[in-house]
Amino acid sequence: MTVHQSAYVGSITHPPFYPALVAFAAACFVGTLATDVAYWRTADILWVDFSDWLVTIGVIVGCLALIVALIELLAFRSRLARRPTWMYAIGNIGALVLGAFDMLMHTRDAWTAVVPGGLVLSAATVLVLLVTAWMAPESLYRAGTEVTA
Chain residues binding another protein by CB under 8 A are 43-46, 48-49, 52-53, 56, 66, 69-70, 73-74, 77, 83-84, 86, 89-90, 93, 96-97, 100-101, 104-105, 107-113, 115
Least Cα distance to 121 among 55, 66, 61 occurs for 55
* Omega before residue 116 within 30° of 0, cis: yes
Minimum distance between the CB of residue 69 and another protein, rounded to whole angstroms? 8
Helix, strand, coil share (%) of the chain residues, nearest 5: 80, 0, 20
Minimum distance between the CB of residue 24 and another protein, rounded to whole angstroms? 17
User: For residues 112 and 105, what is the distance between their CA atoms, to the nearest angstrom?
Assistant: 8
CB-nearer residue toward another protein: 24 or 111:
111
CB-nearer residue toward another protein: 12 or 74:
74
CB-nearer residue toward another protein: 33 or 72:
72
Minimum distance between the CB of residue 82 and another protein, rounded to whole angstroms? 12
For 62, how many CA atoms within 13 A lie in the half-sphere containing its CB? 25
CB-nearer residue toward another protein: 3 or 76:
76
User: For residues 88 and 90, what is the distance between their CA atoms, to the nearest angstrom?
Assistant: 6
CB 65 within 8 A of CB 21: yes
User: For residues 140 and 133, what is the distance between their CA atoms, to the nearest angstrom?
Assistant: 9
Minimum distance between the CB of residue 107 and another protein, rounded to whole angstroms? 5
CB-nearer residue toward another protein: 33 or 105:
105
Minimum distance between the CB of residue 56 and another protein, rounded to whole angstroms? 4
